[in-house]
Amino acid sequence: MLYQKFALLTVVDSEMPKSKLELYEAVIDALADRYLTVDSLAFECNMNCVSVGERLKFLIENGIVKENRCNKKTLYSLTSRGVAICKTFAITRRLEKMKTTIAVIDEALHSLPTLPELGEKKPKREHRDETY
C-alpha cells in the first residue's frame, strides 16, 4: 500500500513542466468565463503570481486580455480577440480527442474478423447432429 502511494507520487513528480504555450492557454481558458484578479488566476492555473503577471503583460500587449479597474482591484478579462483564440483552442482540443477516438475505432474495426461475402453461400450440413 505504501509502495503504491510512493509510485503514484513519483509519476506525478516526473511530469514535464508546461510549455509557454500551455501556460498561456491555461490563463486564457481561466479567463474565458469570468473576470479574475492575478491571485485568482494564479490559483486557477496552478502558477505563482509573478509568472501569471508576466503572462498577463504579454497577453495585454498583444490585445488578447484587457485590464478592468473596479473598487481598487484590477480584474482581467478576454478581449474579442482573446475569445476567438479561446474558441480555437477548444476546437483544437475537440479535434484531437476525435482523432484519438477515430484511431481506436479504426484499430478495433481492423481486429474484427471479416464477414463472408454476401454472394457466397455457406455449405449446408449433410447430417443433423441428434446428440444434444
Residue 112: what pLDDT?
A: 74
Phi, psi angles (nearest 5°) of residue 37: -85, 175
Residue 110 domain flag: no
How many other C-beta atoms are found inside a 10 Å radius of the C-beta of residue 59?
A: 22
Cell of 66: 484587457
d(CA 77, CA 105): 40
The answer to which of 14-23, 64-73, 91-100 has the lowest mean pLDDT is 14-23
pLDDT tops 90 at residue 53: yes
Residue 130 lies inside a defined structural domain of this protein: no
Q: Is residue 126 part of a domain?
A: no
Q: What is the pLDDT of residues 11-51, one digit of tens each?
A: 455 578 888 889 999 999 999 989 999 999 999 999 999 99
pLDDT of 58 reads 95
The total domain count for the chain is: 1
Give residue 13's Cα distance to chain centre. Answer: 20
| CATH at residue 57 | 1.10.10.10
